Amino acid sequence: MVKLERAKKVGRKYQTPVPTHVGGLSTIWKVLPEMIRGGKERTPKVAPGPFRTDAGVYAEAPESGLRVTWFGHSSMLVEIDGVTVLIDPVWDARSAPVQWFGPRRFFAPTLRLDELPKLDAILISHDHYDHLGKGTMQALARLQPGSCWVAPLGVAAELRGFGVPAGRIEELNWLGKASITAKDGSELCVTAAPARHFSGRSLFNRNETLWASYVLRGTRHNVYYGADSGLWEGFSAIGAQFGPFDLTMLEIGAFNDAWKDIHLGPDGAAAAWEALGGGLTMPIHWGLFDLALHGWREPIERMWELAEERGILLFSPEPGRPTEVGEVRSDWWQANRDGVGA
pLDDT tens digits for range 72-120: 999 999 999 999 999 999 999 999 989 989 899 999 999 999 999 999 9
Taking the alpha carbons of 49, 214, 144, 129 in that order, is the dihedral positive or negative?
negative
- pLDDT at residue number 150: 98
**What average pLDDT does range 32-43 have in this prediction?**
67
Q: What is the predicted pLDDT for the residue at 337?
A: 77
What does the alpha-carbon distance between residue 244 and residue 238 come to, in Å, rounded to a whole number? 10
Confidence class for position 259, pLDDT limits 50, 70, 90 = confident
pLDDT in tens, 293-304: 899 999 999 999
Bridge partners of residue 123, in order along the sequence: 87, 150
- pLDDT-derived band of residue 341, with 50, 70 and 90 as boundaries? very low
- Residue 340: pLDDT over 60: no
Among 60-64, 202-206, 333-337, the range with the most confident prediction by mean pLDDT is: 60-64
180-191 average pLDDT score = 97
Q: Look at strands 213-217 and 187-193 and give their pairing.
A: antiparallel
Q: Residue-wise over 138-151: b if at least 16 C-beta within 10 A, else e? A: ebbbeebeebbbbb
Instruction: Name every residue whose Cβ is closer than 8 Å to that of residue 297 and which is 6 or more positions away in sequence.
Output: 41, 333
pLDDT of residue 27: 53
Q: Summarize the confidence of residues 140-148 as an average pLDDT.
A: 97
- What confidence score (pLDDT) does residue 204 get? 86
- The predicted pLDDT at position 33 comes to 57
Q: What is the mean pLDDT of the chain?
A: 94
End-to-end CA separation in angstroms for the chain:
51
Q: How large is the average pLDDT for residues 184-195? A: 97
Over 60: is that where the pLDDT of 158 sits?
yes
User: What does the pLDDT average to over 228-244?
Assistant: 98
Answer positive or negative: Cα dihedral of 80, 84, 88, 94: positive
Please report the pLDDT score of residue 336 as a whole number. Answer: 79
229 pLDDT band, cuts 50/70/90, is very high
Euclidean distance between CA atoms 31 and 178, whole angstroms: 40
> Residue 30 pLDDT > 80, yes or no?
no
Q: In the CATH hierarchy, which top-level class contains the domain 49-327?
A: alpha beta
Domain boundaries, the chain: 49-327
Radius of gyration of the chain (CA): 19
Q: For residue 230, is pLDDT > 90?
A: yes
Per-residue pLDDT averaged across 154-172, rounded? Answer: 98
**Confidence class of residue 342 from pLDDT cuts 50, 70 and 90?**
very low
Cβ contacts of 142-147, under 8 Å, gap ≥ 24: 143/113, 143/114, 143/116, 144/116, 144/118, 144/119, 146/118, 147/86, 147/119, 147/120, 147/121, 147/122
Mean pLDDT, range 152-180, rounded to an integer: 98
| Whole-number pLDDT of residue 22 | 86
Integer Cα distance of 311 and 321 in angstroms: 25
- pLDDT tens, position by position, 237-248: 999 999 999 999
Q: Mean pLDDT over residues 10-24, rounded?
A: 91
Instruction: Give the pLDDT band (50/70/90) at residue 190.
Output: very high
pLDDT of residue 203: 79
pTM here? 0.95
Distance, CA of 164 to CA of 123 (rounded, Å): 13
- The whole-number average pLDDT for the span 231-257 is 97
